[in-house]
Amino acid sequence: MSPRIVVVGSSNTDMVVRLPRIPEAGETVLGGSFLRADGGKGANQAVAAARLGAEVTFVGRVGADELGERAVAGLRDEGIDVSHVSRDEKEPSGVALIFVDERGENAIAVAPGANAALSEDDVERAGGAIETADVLLLQLETPLPTVERAAAVAAAAGVTVILNPAPAQPLPDSLLYRVDVLTPNEGEARLLAALPGDDATREATAGRLLERGVRRIVVTLGAAGALVITRAGEEQLVEGFSVDAVDTTAAGDAFSGALAVALAEGPSLAEAVRFACAAGAVAATARGARPSLPRRERLELLLASGR
């Protein structure tokens, strides 16, 4: 049977303008090219899990507008259950305006719109789906009380909770102790642990988060792979796969979505992290977010090659 995964999170439309340089305040820069793409960490991670063979339900909120319709259609086309995506009558769909210059540097402005209205009631309405899932996958692009409610519903039903703490913000212990696996990158881990600069070694940072209630932490390290640290005292570096990286956008989303699938399929965290590293690596080999999220066959090839 396919693993069942519920994602409670954000859906955005990315409006990307590539141009010679990023405009300063009050300035107009001509000569750009425009691309529109589906995005949002929640929706991206839902798609990542679906492409790897999971039965995915997405719980989110879009506006009653054309961007929202397109975003939902994009998820439906991936085979994702969108029956718990609500339409907000007041707020527009979430939008990210992204400038990318010739060197690949970017500047991003996000208007969360309906994502900011995803409520605890929305989570309650999806309670049946969450309670019968193998894994609940969360991020931080929707309101914290909503994220906390979802984690509480899952934890009470014994469902594994994965939290990708991005974008980083301080989190209460009441949330952290319901998290089975936390997947920060290094910057996010440091922010969450809130240790003074010199004391914030990888180990001290993870140790602080374990003290606060997280059971297992997987710190993603870009091309280097990921570091697994558990409350049981295990520590293991899972090496990254060597690939020709062209754009690491959504590597973290591919990683978290894949980790959810692998953990739902088998108990070994180290093996699940290896699978997730393969997904992140493949995502780094193609441009854009959604187009780069890998399918199962591609991952199996990379895993079998062992590189």
Among 23, 53, 222, 288, binds ligand ADP (CB under 6 A): 222
Of the candidate spans 20-28, 62-70, 145-153, 220-228, the one that interacts with ligand ADP by CB under 6 A turns out to be 220-228
Q: Please, which residue, 72 or 250, has the CB nearer to ligand ADP?
A: 250
Under rule CB under 6 A, residue 281 binds ligand ADP: yes
Q: Please, which residue, 114 or 254, has the CB nearer to ligand ADP?
A: 254
Among 17, 204, 221, 286, binds ligand ADP (CB under 6 A): 221
Among 111, 245, 286, 303, binds ligand ADP (CB under 6 A): 245
Under rule CB under 6 A, residue 223 binds ligand ADP: yes
Q: How far is the CB of 129 from ligand ADP (least distance, A)?
A: 26
Under rule CB under 6 A, residue 143 binds ligand ADP: no
Q: Please, which residue, 99 or 241, has the CB nearer to ligand ADP?
A: 241
DSSP character for 141?
Answer: S
Under rule CB under 6 A, residue 139 binds ligand ADP: no
Q: How far is the CB of 184 from ligand ADP (least distance, A)?
A: 8
Q: How far is the CB of 278 from ligand ADP (least distance, A)?
A: 8
Amino acid at 118: L
The whole-angstrom separation of Cα 205 and Cα 3 is: 32
Residue 101: active-site member: no
Site string (15-34) toward ligand ADP, x via CB under 6 A? --------------------
| 3-class DSSP string for the chain | CCCEEEEECCCEEEEEEECCCCCCCCCCCCCCEEEEEEECHHHHHHHHHHHCCCEEEEEEEEECCHHHHHHHHHHHHCCCEEEEEEEECCCCCEEEEEEECCCCCEEEEEECHHHHHCCHHHHHHCHHHHHCCCEEEECCCCCHHHHHHHHHHHHHCCCEEEECCCCCCCCCHHHHCCCCEECCEHHHHHHHHCCCHHHCCHHHHHHHHHHCCCCEEEEECHHHEEEEEECCCCEEEEECCCCCCCCCCCHHHHHHHHHHHHHHHCCCHHHHHHHHHHHHHHHCCCCCCHHHCCCHHHHHHHHHHCC
Q: Please, which residue, 93 or 220, has the CB nearer to ligand ADP?
A: 220
Binding residues with ligand ADP: total (CB under 6 A)? 19
The whole-angstrom separation of Cα 196 and Cα 230 is: 22
Span 172-211, contacts to ligand ADP by CB under 6 A: 185
In the block, tokens 């949330």 appear at 175
Under rule CB under 6 A, residue 237 binds ligand ADP: no
Q: Please, which residue, 101 or 186, has the CB nearer to ligand ADP?
A: 186
Q: Which residues bind ligand ADP (CB under 6 A)?
A: 185, 220-223, 225-226, 240-241, 243, 245, 248, 251-252, 255, 277, 280-281, 284
Positions marked active-site: 253
